[in-house]
Each structure stands twice: as structure tokens, then as C-alpha cells.
Amino acid sequence: MAISDYYFQMCDALPGREGLLNFNLMCDNLPVLLKGVPLTLELVFISLSLGFCLAIGVALMRISNSRTLNMIARSYVFYFRGTPLLVQIFLIYYGLAQFEAVRESFLWPFFREAYWCGILALMLNTGAYTAEIIRGGLQSVPFGQIESARAMGMSGLLLYRRIIFPIAFRQALPAYGNEMILMVKGTSLVSTVTLMEVTGIARYIIAKYWTPVEIFLIAGVIYLVLNFLVTRLVKYLELRFTPYLQHPK
């Protein structure tokens, strides 16, 4: 007997199942899965906020004339872009706990909590990707506009605040919108370290009822709705910061 045939026979034998999908089970567990949405949004908001602040510093290091700062930033970006997010979560949550120096340090109350380890891993991961997005945006600012601002007396922080950062943000916004969507989906991986966000609750329900299709289908729809809202937010910001797009010729 094929494995797929055995699976469907076993699913048909579950209590209350009629056909391939148990819609009653899906409706009953939808409110339960929605209870994980606040934690998912919290992880996304905190990790993106902290990661964006980190990314600004890393991006400035990447375009600086200091070879030391550039090498540090390049190494950080290379590691966190080149390794899976799941591995990074495991290394922070499980890996650091094996060092006695960490367990005896003042940092242990932080690293023993799955919540903070998850946020740290998400922050470092998105910081690496966002740094490259910001770097690309900064380097795309027309040099003529920078020279014009300098001719008007702008320099230093004023130049960055009034000219460089606004233009770079508009240039980087579409790519950063993709990073926001990836982080919404990336939060599902923190369920592997016992955090009960949407995927964590889904895994618990599946372990209880052995109905992966129905529960993961609902979880997928929830993530789809969240990412739809993210795309609407990015679209609004694009129109807000690029007024000429509001009235195309």
C-alpha cells in the first residue's frame, strides 16, 4: 500500500471526519490559531524595528572609507545572509546555553528565554538583509543632488536628514517591503524553540488531533492575510513618499 493511501485511510478514520477536509475542525480551531497572531505581530514589529536601527549603522559602515569597519560589516552581512534563519535560532537558543561562561554571566536571564532569543535571531537576520537594502538605496542617491545640497550649505547630519535619507528610503522601500513579508513568514520558525505564535499553536493542535492539512491550511491563510496587509502598507508608503505616483500622467 502506498504511503499516501495509508495516510488518507488514517485521516478518514479520525472522529468527525467526512471526506478529505474536516471543516468543523477548521472552524473550531480558527479562534485558537488567531490567539497566536498578537505574538506573531509583536515579533515582527520588534525585530523589524531593532533590525532597521542596526541596519542603518551597518549600511553606513559598508559605505565608509574605513577598511576595518567595512570588513566587520561585510562579515556580519555575509554570515547572516549566508546561513539559514533556523540554524541561527538554534545557535542562539541552544548553542549559547552550553557555555558555562554564558550561564554564569549577567546575560543568562536573557539567553535562557526563548522569546528574547527568537527576537535576537530575527533582529540579526533582518538587520543583515536590510543593511544591504539601505546600502543600495544610499548609493542610488544622485550625486548631483548631494552637490546641490552642499552648495546650499548643507553638510553632515543635515545633509543626510534632508536629502540623502529621504531619497534612499524611497529607493529602498519596495525591496524593504519584501523583507517585511519575509519576516512575517520567518516568525514561524521560532515555534521550534517553544514560542506559541501561529505556527506554534498549529503544531500543538496537529499533535493533538493529527490533522496537518486542515490546521496548516488555516495557518497559511492567516499568514496570507497578514502579508496582504503588509503589501497594502508598503503601497501606501510608496504613494506617500513619492507624490508623483498619485497622479500618473
State how far the Cα of 105 lies from the Cα of 58, in Å rounded to an integer. Answer: 27
Asked, for residue 91, whether it belongs to a domain, the answer is: yes
Look up the CATH number of the domain holding residue 76.
Answer: 1.10.3720.10
Q: How far apart are CA 120 and CA 80, in angstroms?
A: 12
Contacts of residue 25, defined as CB under 8 A and 6 or more positions apart, other chains included, come to 16, 17, 209, 211, 214
The mean pLDDT of 64-92, rounded to a whole number, is 94
Asked if pLDDT for residue 6 goes beyond 60, the answer is no
At 146-194, the pLDDT tens digits run 778 777 777 777 887 777 788 888 888 889 999 999 999 999 999 999 8
Contacts of 68-76 with C-beta under 8 Å, sequence gap 24+, read 73/131, 76/128, 76/131
Confidence band, pLDDT 50/70/90 cuts, at residue 137: confident
Question: Cα dist. 143→88, 137, 242 in Å?
Answer: 38, 13, 19
Closest C-alpha among 224, 207, 55, 35 to residue 130:
55
Q: Is 219 exposed, middle or buried (0-12, 13-18, 19+ CB in 10 A)?
A: buried
Looking at the domain assignment, is residue 9 inside a domain?
Answer: no
Question: How far lies 104's CA from each of 93, 97, 116, in Å?
Answer: 16, 10, 18
Domain count, the chain: 1
Say if pTM beats, i.e. exceeds, 0.75. Answer: yes
Contact 33, 218 (CB under 8 A): yes
Q: Residue 10 domain-assigned?
A: no
The residue range of the domain holding 108 is 28-242
Is residue 18 situated within a structural domain?
no
pLDDT tens-digit readout, 7-42? 344 444 444 455 577 888 888 889 999 999 999 999
In a domain, 172, yes or no: yes
**Residue 248: inside a domain:** no
